[in-house]
Amino acid sequence: MTYPFTAVVGMDDLRLALLLNAVSPAVGGVLVRGEKGTAKSTSVRALAAVLPPVAVVPGCRFGCDPAAPDPGCPDGPHEAGAAARTRPARLVELPVGASEDRLVGSLDLERALTEGVKAYEPGLLAAAHRGVLYVDEVNLLHDHLVDLLLDAAALGTAYVEREGISVRHAARFLLVGTMNPEEGELRPQLLDRFGLTVEVAAPRDPAVRAEVVRRRFASDADPAGFAAAWDDEETALAERIATARARLPRVVLSDAALRQVTAVCAAFDVDGLRADLVTARAAIAHAAWCGREEVTEDDVRVAARLALPHRRRRNPFDAPGLDDETLEQALADSRPEDDGPQDDGPQDDGPQDDGPQDDGGPDGGPDDGGGPGMGSNTYGSDAETHEKDPLPGDGEGAGEPTTAPRGEGGGRTDAAPAPDRAAVPPADPFRTRRLEVPGIGAGAAGRRSRARSERGRVVGSTRPAGAVTRLHLPSTVLAAAPHQLGRGRTGPGLRLAREDLRQATLEGREGNLVLFVVDASGSMGSRARMAAVKGAVLSLLLDAYQRRDKVGLITFRAAGAELALPPTWSVEAAAARLTGLPTGGRTPLAAGLLRAHEVLRVERVRDPRRRPLLVVVTDGRATGARGSDSLGEARRAAGLVASAGTAAVVVDCEAGPVRLGLAASLGQQLGAQTLRLEELGAESLASTVRDVRKAA
């Protein structure tokens, strides 16, 4: 039993975006972003019930339209105007763990080679043709699957290529993806491919929340009766969608309206021209939905609020958003001089389903810099500015004399705990060198370390345990060649048997768990130094985002270590925690390493295929209570981490003309690569390579 679409309380922006895509699938799909428990999936699953039914060719696995069948349909050819049957529009769900073959379909290579039969099994793209394809947690889907999905949605055609055998079929569907930003973002290139985006949140009005609970209780108590109570509204909504679809070809986008579309896109400085196309299509769909045959300024306003927020992100840590003042100014500047402000309907209220003229523009997205992501002002900090205004006691602890005696690790062992310092903004990020886990893994697809994967370059072949999905043709021919006479071959054809088939072995890249252990103690020195350290970690976080890594953050200072962020996909959350990180106090290095060991132990049980990379950012000093062997404890903790086989990198933050080399010693104990803070940059690596080549 599907929850009625009209019974979803609130979520006006979401409902409007889904309806506009139902009217015009050319808009390009909807991405729904929101916190957990906000009825994202419920709304999407309810959409299929209000879509008009579709007529299909009987027996066609690809849902061809009898009035205009696909000439290249693998089940065809079909004659136009042949017998037809009507079925409801389908809602097809793509699971996060789906394979490429499950998405696009697969060929039976064994039958193709041994029997000469082109046997093709359709995938989910074929099942979703002329319906809805729903991807829950689309941000967790492998990147290559998202690429295939969006390519099919843009072209309206799915292609399957297997060793010279090619199959294509129509795949036109309404694409809807949902995601929780706390679990990680989509890459900007993929984000741009979604036509519209909507931010949803739980209502804060107690009356609205109470109504949600009432309707849910009513649905649980009597699902059939609850659905029947909304039948009239569902039927009316379905009829309105069908009417808007019929009106769509007659809607006119005038030159003046087109200038408004392009002026708005230019005002928000979006990349490329896809934003202009999507905004124009969404404005046409909105006009058809509202019963108009000409696009108005209100249509452009509504379309821009849905099509532009996710295209304004200038870096991965920015939260989507749209400034209403900029939008209104762009619309005003693009009006003909003799036109005043247009009033085509209420603009402050959400859309109403009971009349074509009641659709006002949805509320804009969150303000720039809101949410868990970091605003662009994060990158405008200047470490030198803070140097001119130092805090009292800018040494290891506030108010401590710089000549105080130090313990074996170089830190104080007898002074009172120092108060926390205010959080220092990070310095500007930079492009880092790639840090890798040694060896070859088999984890989820990513861009960091070498791994056996479903995509990549061919490095060999194996005898398959099951069905062949990636045929290694040369190895197959070599395996079959010695048996040709024994199998009675007399002509040019090659005689193959099941035991001849070989599966290609591919090597690509995997994503890792990058666990940062950051020293936030007073020994890290001045505000400028801590700003540089935060900027370096922020750069590594940006690199982890681009390489599709899972990240975690441990900080140690004062009396112990804290898991500031458990392993997560949300690099934005890690960046936010890092920016607000206070400093000061002692340096419990051993506590930080032991906490990292425990976190990694648990993660190996949860996700055994994802290999970890431990990044320790410290100057190597270790201080503790009076009489404790802090440095010895840190060495023993490092040995424990190394004994578990954890790959590690130590980032040496020690500064000054005299260096103790404690971070390098820690790197030896961990069996880790040690890099100076200034050696993290990709430019530094390139310079080193050039120097080595010159010396050679």
Three-class SS of 442-483 = CCCEEEEEEEEEEEEEEEEEECCCCCCCCECHHHHHHHHHHH
Neighbours of 101 (CB within 10 A): 17
Q: Tally the C-alpha atoms within 13 A of residue 542's C-alpha that lie toward its C-beta.
A: 20
- 4: closest CA among 250, 230, 298? 230
CA 45 to chain centre: 22
Q: What are the residue ranges of helices labelled H in 468-619?
A: 473-480, 527-546, 571-579, 589-606
What is the three-class DSSP state of 233? helix
Q: What are the residue ranges of helices labelled H in 290-351?
A: 297-307, 324-333
- 18: closest CA among 195, 172, 140? 195
Could you tell me the two tokens for 44?
């999407």
**Amino acid letter, residue 536:** A
Could you tell me the two tokens for 218?
């009513």
293 contacts 250 by C-beta, under 8 angstroms: yes
> Facing residues of 132 across strands?
91, 174
What is the three-class DSSP state of 426? coil
Could you tell me the two tokens for 350?
């959400």
285-320: burial string, b at 16+ Cβ within 10 Å, e else? bbbbbbebeebbbbbbbbbbbbbbbbbbbeebbbbb
Return the ∠ at Cα 142 (arms to 177 and 577), rounded to 5°: 80
- 549: closest CA among 143, 110, 45? 143
**What is the number of H-type helices and E-type strands within the chain?**
22, 19
Pick the catalytic residue: 102, 187, 216, 274? 274
The residues, ordered by sequence, that sit 6+ positions from 11 with a Cβ below 8 Å of its Cβ are 38, 39, 43, 200
* DSSP string for residues in 624-641: -STT--HHHHHHHHHHHH
CA separation, residue 277 to residues 41, 281, 282, 336, 381 (Å): 27, 6, 9, 22, 36
- 375: closest CA among 423, 304, 321? 321
Helix or strand run (H / E) with residue 260: helix 255-267
107 contacts 119 by C-beta, under 8 angstroms: yes
Phi, psi of 113 (to 5 degrees): -85, -40
Neighbours of 419 (CB within 10 A): 15
What is the three-class DSSP state of 564? strand
Phi, psi of 666 (to 5 degrees): -60, -40
Active site residue 611: no
Phi, psi of 378 (to 5 degrees): -60, -35
Could you tell me the two tokens for 137?
């947690």
User: Would you name the residues annotated as active-site residues?
Assistant: 274
